[in-house]
Chain A
Amino acid sequence: EVQLVESGGGLLQPGKSLRLSCGASGFTFDDYAMHWVRQRPGKGLEWVSGIDWNSYSVGYADSVKGRFTVSRDNAKNSLYLQMNSLRAEDTALYFCAKTIGAYLDNSGTSIDYWGQGTLVTVSS
């Protein structure tokens, strides 16, 4: 059974940093690209970042580019999101997501498994 378990969320002040983690199990982690998707309270889904199977290719939404960094450790079956210079508008539930393919491309970006999410609240 595929499982994605996010951790690291919390309440913090604007300008601070936070690192989210996602532990994966139930599938061959290094066969698939992974994404972070967030959902602000009462709002829709927003893609944050993606990384291909071997970390060669990464992508970011314009809203987080230069502040967030995605990474993975295939030996630990883990995905990470380093979040710096946090803003109030980064407040959201952050989902770890597994795609159906290995690459960040048109054919592989459907997300077939989602974690339960970890809540990040940025407030003074």
Chain B
Amino acid sequence: SYELTQPPSVSVSPGQTAGITCSGNNLGNRYASWYQQKPGQSPVLVIYHDNKRPSGIPERFSGSNSGNTATLTISGTQAIDEADYYCQAWDSGTVVFGGGTKLTVL
């Protein structure tokens, strides 16, 4: 079965740029989405179709997808961005989520 691999944790200082990667075989040949989930809350879509931001998502969130890796980039990271982030893709009739990355802003 298809797998998406994310680093368990990423740390960033406030105001700096955070990058969260998601790796999968030929991931660049399919759309990647990213979700933010804060404790006790439902996930929120922050990027879809590799690099599109839904309405209401700040411009500091951006995405890219090429080869075997999709990347979520948060520019000018703020304390409110501290959360778990999950990538997601479609493969052979199933939806696949990455294992999640805990972003710590310190």
Contact = CB atoms under 8 A, between A and B. Distances in A.
B97 interface: yes
B88 A110 contact: yes
A114 B100 contact: no
B49 interface: yes
A106 to B, nearest CB: 5
A105 B90 CA distance: 7
B90 A109 contact: yes
A112 B45 contact: yes
B30 A47 contact: no
B93 A59 contact: yes
B95 to A, nearest CB: 4
Given A61-B94, A109-B95, A45 B35 contact: yes
B61 interface: no
A111 B97 contact: no
A116 interface: yes
Given A107-B49, A110-B48, A110-B49, A47 B95 contact: yes
Q: How large is the interface on B (under 10, 10 to 19, 20 to 34, 35 or more residues)?
A: 20 to 34
B33 A110 contact: yes
A100 B95 contact: no
Contacts of A62: 1
Nearest to A59: B93
Contacts of B99: 44
Interface string B64-87: 000000000000000000001010
Contacts of B88: 45, 109-111
Given A45-B88, A107-B31, A114-B42, 15 more contacts: A37-B97, A44-B98, A45-B37, A45-B86, A45-B97, A47-B96, A61-B94, A62-B1, A110-B33, A110-B49, A111-B35, A114-B43, A114-B44, A115-B42, A116-B42
Interface of A: 35, 37, 44-47, 50, 59-62, 95, 100, 104-107, 109-112, 114-117
12 contacts: A37-B95, A37-B97, A44-B84, A47-B94, A47-B95, A95-B43, A104-B93, A106-B30, A109-B33, A109-B95, A110-B31, A110-B48
